Amino acid sequence: MKITFVRPNLYEGRSLDAMHPLCFAILRSLTPPDIAMALYDERLEPIPLDEPTDLVAMTVETYTARRAYQIATAYRRRGVPVIMGGYHPTFLPNEALQFSDAVVVGDAEGVWSRVIEDAGRGQLQPLYRQDEFPALGGVTPDRSIFRGKRYAPVTLVQYGRGCKYNCNFCSIRAFYGTVLRQRPVAEVVEEIKRCGSRTIFLVDDNIFVDIPRAVELFEALIPLRLAWSCQVSIDIAHEPELVRLMARSGCINALIGFESLNRDNLVQMRKAWNVKYHDYQTSIEVFRNAGIMIYGTFVFGYDHDTTASFDEAVAFAIRNKFYLANFNPLTPTPGADLYRQLQEENRLIYERWWLDPDFRYGHATFHPRGMTADELTAGCLRARLRFNTWSSLCRRALAPRTNLRTPFRVGVYLLSNLISKREILFKQGRQLGSSAPLNPPPVGVPA
Ligand code: B12
Ligand code: SF4
């Protein structure tokens, strides 16, 4: 038996920012070695639809759903069964089943061996799900599946799953529930040692969901002399000792969701800790003093945003010499409370933007209150372009404690900014998937 793993892109064609799709390293390690496996990642290479295979296993996010369904249809026309997993099929299994033979809801661990047995007998079931969130541990991602592929030079490692917060636009709570799980620290350390890379991205949605466990991990990382990145919530800046420990253990940059400079917006998105620590300046200073570069993210379209909000956020990000920043239109994804709310308020522009042939990447998907949808689209693009001008890049570089700290940091700063600058123009305004219609056309309304 041969399984072909497929990672679709947002659209037909390549991207510059492709990192390892970690889920396939996990699936590979859960698959018996006598089963042949191949991986095709459309961000790096075309998908060879004619190559013989017995099962196609795809990972699908909301932004890649349209493209995934098109690729799946091409395989199924040749009689190859397709199974889908990941965020989007977990939230909308019935939609995914219109384009695939089977769907895995939630984590792969605990159900993948059953999928393989059933596929081997030609008896795939439509739905595989585990209703519990089993403890993490005992699975070491097998990265040999990425051999020979030109991914970004950073190794993705997951310590834990889930977030203790529940921002109304975010998919994480809907996917992982309220359960917070971490792998044993020794396993993570062993995995990092074995992968041979010292540049690590800890992909946890919030590395500080459990402070004692985070401290345990950071202390174990100190001897490895890594350069690592992560995502954190801003409340952690009020424990400067912890931030210094992060830095000592090798953290060079942290993605922080600032989201908005407006308090009322933060209340609306349920980001209570950003409201509590609304003095962003003090928090930023804590990271800067520790030598950690900040990747700030902002979202626009909440009720208290106006057309002036974009320039304010860009000025704030440049003034604080953020290493990178993102300025996105608020986008309702299935599974997030925001989607249901906007649907009830009749404010969605598309019933399902992720499948709609008229939707374009970077465009507004709903009618905001403080501006028009077109102003939201244009404001986000303008903010991204302004943040990524050459003069902004030079001004932000002048941060000796963070962006200019070492020659390695300068390299990371320049490379990341150049890739980000190129990707903005490359992605903006593109149709998701290819221009071919979805066949069969999807029926029904998402739950
Ligand atoms: C790292 C990351 C990135 C990296 C890229 C990662 C990469 N591999 O190239 C960067 C920063 C570039 C990025 C970009 C974006 N990202 Co991102 N990203 C993540 C993050 C933080 C970690 C991903 C990861 O490695 N997870 C660890 C693996 C092991 O988990 P997993 O993929 O879920 O897989 C498990 C299960 O889902 C399941 N599974 C998954 N696939 C399959 C397939 C099969 C067949 C089976 C059986 C099981 C299975 O098994 C795995 C093990 O249990 C996630 C959040 C998260 N916690 O996952 C967001 C996340 C996936 N990203 C998200 C988004 C929205 C984006 C962007 C679209 C943002 C934007 N507006 O541009 C872009 C574009 C992404 C794209 N499709 O090209 C959303 C997706 C939400 C959704 N509803 O789809 C997430 C969930 C973040 C969030 N908080 O909402 N991202
Ligand atoms: S803190 Fe981040 S991961 Fe957690 S719910 Fe909010 S946006 Fe999602």
CA–CA distance, 440 with 171 (Å, rounded to integer): 27
Strands (E), 127-271: 127-129, 155-157, 160-161, 181-182, 199-202, 227-232, 251-259
Structure tokens at 21: 């799709």
Q: Which ligand is nearest to the CA of 133?
A: 1
Q: Which atom of ligand 2 is nearest to the CA of 271?
A: 6
What are φ and ψ of residue 278, in 5° steps? -70, -10
| Ligand 2 pocket member 393 (CB < 6 A) | no
What pLDDT does residue 195 have? 93
- What confidence tens digit (pLDDT) does each residue in 116-169 have? 999 999 999 999 998 789 899 999 999 999 999 999 999 999 999 999 999 999
What pLDDT does residue 446 have? 58
Q: Which ligand is nearest to the CA of 158?
A: 1
Spatial CB neighbours of 229, under 8 Å, sequence gap ≥ 6: 154, 200, 201, 202, 251, 252, 253, 254, 255, 295
| Ligand 2 pocket member 236 (CB < 6 A) | no
Structure tokens at 230: 């992560």
Which residue is closest in CA terms to ligand 2's atom 8? Answer: 170
Tell how far the Cα of 212 is from the centroid of ligand 1, in angstroms: 26
Residue whose pair of structure tokens reads 């990707």 in the numeric block:
423
| Ligand 2 pocket member 355 (CB < 6 A) | no
| Residues flanking ligand 1, CB < 6 Å | 10, 17-23, 26, 57-59, 61-64, 83-88, 104, 107-109, 112, 156, 158, 170-172, 203, 205, 328, 333
CA–CA distance, 138 with 151 (Å, rounded to integer): 26
Which residue is closest in CA terms to ligand 2's atom 6? Answer: 167
DSSP classification of residue 405: S
Q: Which ligand is nearest to the CA of 353?
A: 1
What pLDDT does residue 258 have? 96
- Per-run averaged pLDDT (10 residues), the chain, 447 residues: 98 89 98 97 96 98 98 97 98 97 96 97 96 90 96 96 93 90 97 95 94 96 97 93 98 97 95 82 96 98 98 98 98 94 97 96 98 98 97 97 96 94 90 91 68
- What confidence tens digit (pLDDT) does each residue in 265-287 have? 999 999 988 788 778 999 999 99
Residue 227's DSSP bridge partners are 199
What are φ and ψ of residue 214, in 5° steps? -65, -45
Tell how far the Cα of 173 is from the centroid of ligand 1, in angstroms: 14
CA–CA distance, 122 with 113 (Å, rounded to integer): 14
What pLDDT does residue 276 have? 80
Q: Which atom of ligand 1 is nearest to the CA of 141?
A: 29
